[in-house]
Amino acid sequence: MKTSKIEWTDATWNPSTGCNKVTAGCKNCYAETMAKRLQAMGASGYENGFDFTLMPERIDLPRKIKKPTKFFVNSMSDLFHEDMPFEFLDRVFNVIEETPHHQYQILTKRENILADYFANRKVPKNVWLGVTVENSKTKNRIDILRKIDAEIRFLSIEPLIGEVGVIDLTDIHWVIVGGESGHKARPMKSEWAIDIQRQCNEQNVSFFFKQWGTWGEDGVKRSKKSNGRILLGKEWNEEPLYDLT
């Protein structure tokens, strides 16, 4: 567990590590690159590189943090991976329920497993539940997410690698948009991001623009820090309202 440079969270918590590619958004996975680097450095927890691995020794870590914190759960994996036992997931969600002073942001590309798990379980009130939508081909994930009774439902439209088109944001509370980073990054067109911001505004959904990534708004390839996170002349840092009580 460590503080995070990800703009929309405070810290990361990885009760599992490793994953495998399921759709086009996974092609240049940042977590895979990082996991292999950590494996080469001999870092604890990455002995298996990017192979899916349970980390039971990390489950209780949030209990030790007294300061209210927003945790991005499994930044280095997918909590709803095919190899994740539901019994282990139960242990993870028990910790979440027993630490109501924290908020837990959970993101998945495996919407069907997400739906199966919560078919007969309740989502804890302090969970933000999200799915990744990288282009129009993965919009079906939204329909599955909206059927799950969660306090906050959100979309991570990152990396945005294609036009998403019309989005029904009914019962969605937050949308994050960002371009891809890394030397193999695919460009994000400004009109794609602007169209999503417009739809969020029209449907009264909070909008967060995370980054341009490796390719700037001007189509020039440079560091993501240099390209920044300005869209339509401003930073977009909107978040949904949530009640900790």
Burial class from Cβ neighbours inside 10 Å (0-12, 13-18, 19+) for residue 146 reads middle
Whether pLDDT at 214 is above 80: yes
What is the DSSP annotation of 9-28?
-SEEE-SEEB----SGGGTT
pLDDT at 194: 98
179 Cβ contact list (under 8 Å, min separation 6): 158, 159, 160, 185, 187, 188, 193, 211, 212, 213, 214, 215, 224, 227
Residues with Cβ < 8 Å from 220, sequence gap 6 or more? none
pLDDT of residue 224: 95
Neighbours of 101 (CB within 10 A): 12
Which residue has 């691995």 as its token pair?
53
Query: Average per-residue pLDDT in the chain?
Result: 96
214 and 182 Cβ atoms separated by less than 8 Å? yes
Phi-psi label, residue 228: left if phi above 0, alpha if psi -120 to 50, beta otherwise: left
> What pLDDT score was predicted for residue 1?
63
Band (pLDDT 50/70/90 cuts) for residue 244 is: low
Q: Which amino acid is at 234?
A: K
User: What pLDDT shows up at residue 5?
Assistant: 86
pLDDT mean over 87-114: 98
**What percentage of the chain has pLDDT greater than the value 70?**
98
Task: Provide φ and ψ at 120, rounded to 5°.
Answer: -135, 25
Cβ neighbors of 73 (< 8 A, separation 6 or more) are 12, 13, 14, 15, 79, 92, 104, 105, 106, 107
Give this prediction's pTM.
Answer: 0.95
Any bridge partners for residue 18, and if so which? 77
Angle CA 12–18–20, to nearest 5: 125
Lowest average pLDDT, out of 208-212, 221-225, 240-244, goes to 240-244
pLDDT at 243 over 70: no
Question: Where does the pLDDT of residue 241 fall: very low under 50, low under 70, confident under 90, or very high at 90 and above?
Answer: confident
Query: Is pLDDT above 70 for 245?
Result: no
Residue pLDDT, tens place only, 103-158: 999 999 999 999 999 999 999 999 999 999 999 999 999 999 999 999 999 999 99
The pLDDT score that the predictor gives to residue 154 is: 98
